[in-house]
């Protein structure tokens, strides 16, 4: 049974690390602000959740796990709202995304 | 170091503020890597959080860009002087460092004498697990009193500059539409859930400071951060109705007062100033009591001070905006 | 395993820093700083486990909070200066 948990932990970590790396590369290479925000959003929510769940499984029951649960809840509440606020503010600041029409004109 | 150079070179002050936020964050990571948890805590809260926000407020009042190149020539002489001063100071620091023993060397003077006594006898004399708090609050309580007074004075200084209309209880003269983020409904609703939890967390950090990292400074900053979040989202006027600035002014002084009173009570009970052992019948209980009370005073003063500074800056920015 | 995670996190933080220095618009920079902040939260949590001191989690929580508040502060600053410019032009 122990090795199953270890396997899950390793899977969580590896998957989380992969997602974060793809998010990082995405931020550097995507052409537009809104697409970059999508890349960053993946790392913030899904990868963070995976890594925190892996850490939780490593820690076992107790105070440490409770604090990790708190951190996870907080991040899941705040980072989507922050992304939303950022996107709304960017639209308000008249930053337009690249749309399909413009691309087909080129 | 890259961030520091970037901060100095960028003439867009806003980018400088962002970069200094990253710099504060990197410092916090360094402190964590050096195993100095409490310092990392304070640095993360203040250097990467409150400091950029306050600087942004300053930017709202002043301009956003540094004075442009037309005046650069005059500035060049000054620049050279500043550079020389920096080089001399830096050189002296490096020279002093070369002479110092290696990092973490157990024979270093900083590790002997007083430190040994602190580390060995703190558990018996004071009895709380977090040694940083015991040094800060009890062995060096006098210094901490000075630190609290510094924050108090800073808040008073800002108030002396800025607070013409802040304390008037009449009708707010600024239309509230310009002040709050009323379009951001999602943010507002999420924050309504979060802010009570943030304040609760501040209380946890305050009273948990004896067992884990934390204590009065960090707790005050977290509490102020929660209130600042509320102010940013709901507008200064509503925030002023919720937390009256007059009350804040009194609280700011009250925290320092508590601290000083503890010291005086110690003196009246027969010990020295800020010697907590005489506060109760058992010396260790006295220490606990003293540390608890002064941390409370520190937390109150810092929270009130930070909120006051934020209110003052925000009010100033709003009046400037309304006048244009 | 944890060390690998820490290295990955540091790499992504460097990438975010590069984007913060490069990014053409201001919103790119804000996004990069936000990303940097959330990765730092993870990094502190992972380092806490590496060093065996679970007290670090308090710091991670505080930093998540501070990151969120800073981003909102920055956005508010932008709404101000935008309104200033929009209303300042005749």
pLDDT digit string, tens, across residues C19-64: 777 767 777 778 888 888 888 888 888 887 877 766 677 778 878 8
Structure tokens at B239: 């925030």
Neighbours of B, requiring at least 3 CB pairs below 8 Å, are A, C
User: pTM of the prediction?
Assistant: 0.73
* 3-state secondary structure at position B67: coil
Please state, in angstroms and as integers, the Cα–Cα distance from residue B240 to each residue in A15, B9, B170, B228, following that order. Answer: 47, 38, 11, 11
What is the rounded CA–CA span in Å between residue B162 and residue B139? 37
Split at pLDDT 50, 70, 90, the class of B278 is low
Token pair 């630190």 is found at B147
Are B25 and B44 contacting, i.e. CB atoms less than 8 angstroms apart?
A: yes
Task: Round the CA-based radius of gyration of chain C to a whole number and report it.
Answer: 17
Q: Does B229 touch chain C (CB under 8 A)?
A: yes
Q: Which of C25-29's residues contact partners 24+ apart within 8 Å by CB, and which partners? A: C25/A33, C25/A90, C25/A95, C26/B14, C26/C78, C27/A33, C27/A86, C27/A89, C27/A90, C27/A93, C27/A95, C28/A33, C28/A36, C29/B15, C29/B18
**A104 min Cα distance to partner chain C (Å):** 23
Split at pLDDT 50, 70, 90, the class of C87 is very low
* B9-26 per-position pLDDT tens digit: 555 556 666 666 666 666
Mutation site for A-interface testing, chosen from B14, B189, B190, B194 by largest number of A Cβ within 10 Å: B190
Of A70, B121, B89, B104, nearest to C41 (Cα)?
A70
Are A90 and A34 contacting, i.e. CB atoms less than 8 angstroms apart?
A: yes
**C68 min Cα distance to partner chain A (Å):** 7
Name the DSSP letter for residue A70: H
Interface list for C 14-73 with B (CB within 8 A)? 17, 20-21, 26, 29-30, 33, 36-37, 40, 43-44, 47, 51, 53, 55-56, 58-59, 61-63, 65-67, 69-70, 72-73
Of B306, B312, B321, nearest to B49 (Cα)?
B306
What is the rounded CA–CA span in Å between residue A50 and residue B39? 29
- CB atoms closer than 10 angstroms to residue A65: 17
Split at pLDDT 50, 70, 90, the class of A105 is very low
Q: What is the mean pLDDT of chain B?
A: 67
First and final CA of chain A: distance in angstroms?
58
Are B159 and B291 contacting, i.e. CB atoms less than 8 angstroms apart?
A: no
Asked whether this complex has an ipTM greater than 0.95, the answer is no
Are C19 and A40 contacting, i.e. CB atoms less than 8 angstroms apart?
A: no
Q: Do A81 and B193 touch (CB under 8 A)?
A: no
What is the rounded CA–CA span in Å between residue B221 and residue B227? 10
């Amino acid at each position: 049974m122990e090795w199953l948990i270890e396997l899950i932990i390793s899977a969580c970590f590896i998957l989380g690390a992969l997602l974060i790396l793809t998010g990082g590369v995405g931020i550097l290479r995507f052409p537009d602000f809104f697409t970059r925000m999508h890349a960053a959003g993946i790392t913030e929510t899904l990868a963070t959740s995976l890594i925190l769940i892996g850490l939780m499984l490593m820690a076992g029951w107790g105070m440490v796990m409770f604090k990790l649960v708190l951190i996870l809840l907080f991040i899941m509440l705040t980072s989507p709202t922050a992304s939303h606020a950022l996107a709304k503010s960017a639209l308000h600041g008249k930053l337009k995304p690249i749309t399909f029409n413009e691309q087909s004109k080129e | 170091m890259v961030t520091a150079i970037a901060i100095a070179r960028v003439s867009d002050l806003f980018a400088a503020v962002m970069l200094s936020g990253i710099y504060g964050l990197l410092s916090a990571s360094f402190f964590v890597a050096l195993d100095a948890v409490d310092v990392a805590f304070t640095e993360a809260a203040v250097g990467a959080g409150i400091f950029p926000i306050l600087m942004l407020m300053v930017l709202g009042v002043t301009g956003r860009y540094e004075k442009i190149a037309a005046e650069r020539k005059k500035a060049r002489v000054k620049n050279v002087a500043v550079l020389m001063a920096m080089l001399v100071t830096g050189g002296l620091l490096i020279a002093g460092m070369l002479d110092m023993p290696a990092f973490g060397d157990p024979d270093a003077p900083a590790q002997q004498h007083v430190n040994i006594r602190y580390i060995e006898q703190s558990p018996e004399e004071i009895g709380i697990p977090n040694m940083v708090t015991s040094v800060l609050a009890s062995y060096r309580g006098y210094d901490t009193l000075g630190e609290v007074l510094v924050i108090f004075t800073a808040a008073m200084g800002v108030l002396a500059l800025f607070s013409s209309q802040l304390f008037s209880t009449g009708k707010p003269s600024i239309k509230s539409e310009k002040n709050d983020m009323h379009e951001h409904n999602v943010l507002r609703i999420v924050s309504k859930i979060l802010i009570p939890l943030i304040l609760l967390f501040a209380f946890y950090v305050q009273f948990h400071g004896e067992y884990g990292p934390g204590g009065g400074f960090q707790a005050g900053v977290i509490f102020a951060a929660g209130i600042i979040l509320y102010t940013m989202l709901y507008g200064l006027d509503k925030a002023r109705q919720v937390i009256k600035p007059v009350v804040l002014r009194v609280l700011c002084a009250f925290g320092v007062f508590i601290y000083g009173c503890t010291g005086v009570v110690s003196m009246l009970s027969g010990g020295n100033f800020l010697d907590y052992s005489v506060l109760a019948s058992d010396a260790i209980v006295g220490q606990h009591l003293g540390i608890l009370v002064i941390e409370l005073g520190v937390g109150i003063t810092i929270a009130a001070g930070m909120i006051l500074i934020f209110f003052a800056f925000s009010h100033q920015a709003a009046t400037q905006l309304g006048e244009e | 395993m944890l060390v690998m995670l820490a290295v990955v996190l540091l790499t992504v933080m460097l990438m975010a820093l590069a984007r913060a220095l490069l990014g053409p618009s201001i919103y790119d920079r804000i996004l990069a700083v936000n990303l940097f902040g959330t990765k730092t939260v993870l990094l502190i949590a992972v380092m806490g486990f590496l060093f065996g001191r679970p007290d670090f989690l308090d710091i991670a929580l505080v930093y998540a909070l501070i990151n969120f508040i800073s981003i909102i502060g920055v956005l508010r600053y932008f709404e101000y200066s935008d309104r200033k410019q929009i209303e300042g032009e005749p």
